Amino acid sequence: MRFDIVTLFPAIFDGYLTQSLLEKAIAKGLVEIHRHNLRDWAADTPHRKVDDRPFGGGPGMLLQVDVTVPCVEDIDRMAATPARKILLTPQGKRFDQRMAEDLATSDRVMLLCGRYEGFDQRVVDIVKPEEVSVGDFVLNGGEVAAMTIIDGVVRLLPGVLGDENSHVDDSFSRGNRLLEFPQYTRPRDFRGHRVPDVLLGGNHEAIAAWRAEQSRIRTKQRRSDLFDEEE
Enzyme catalytic residues: 90, 117, 155, 170
State the minimum distance, in angstroms, from the CB of residue 8 to ligand 6GU: 13
Q: What are phi and psi of 82, to 5 degrees?
A: -65, 150
Annotation-wise, does 138 bind a ligand? yes
**CA nearest neighbour of 5 among 95, 105, 83, 116:** 83
Among 52, 104, 106, 141, the residue binding ligand 6GU under the rule CB under 6 A is: 141
142 binds ligand 6GU (CB under 6 A): yes
State the minimum distance, in angstroms, from the CB of residue 146 to ligand 6GU: 8
- The whole-angstrom separation of Cα 29 and Cα 50 is 33
129 binds ligand 6GU (CB under 6 A): no
Which 3 state secondary structure label does DSSP give 201? coil
Q: Sort strands 84-94 and 130-133 into parallel, antiparallel or unpaired.
A: parallel
145 binds ligand 6GU (CB under 6 A): yes
152 binds ligand 6GU (CB under 6 A): no
Q: Which is nearer to ligand 6GU, 152 or 210 (CB)?
A: 152
User: Taking CB under 6 A as the rule, which mask of x and - marks residues 10-29 in contact with ligand 6GU?
Assistant: --------------------
Which of left, alpha, beta for 188 (phi over 0: left; psi -120 to 50: alpha)? alpha
Where b means 16+ CB within 10 Å and e means fewer, 160-196 reads beeeeeebeeebbeeeebbbebeeeeeeeeeeeeebe
- The whole-angstrom separation of Cα 17 and Cα 25 is 10
Among 134, 153, 154, 178, the residue binding ligand 6GU under the rule CB under 6 A is: 134
Beta carbons of 63 and 69 less than 8 angstroms apart: no
State the minimum distance, in angstroms, from the CB of residue 141 to ligand 6GU: 5
135 binds ligand 6GU (CB under 6 A): yes
* Residue set of the binding site for S-adenosyl-L-methionine: 114, 134-139
* Residue set of the binding site: 114, 134-139
Interacting residue ranges for ligand 6GU, rule: CB under 6 A? 88-90, 133-135, 137-139, 141-142, 145
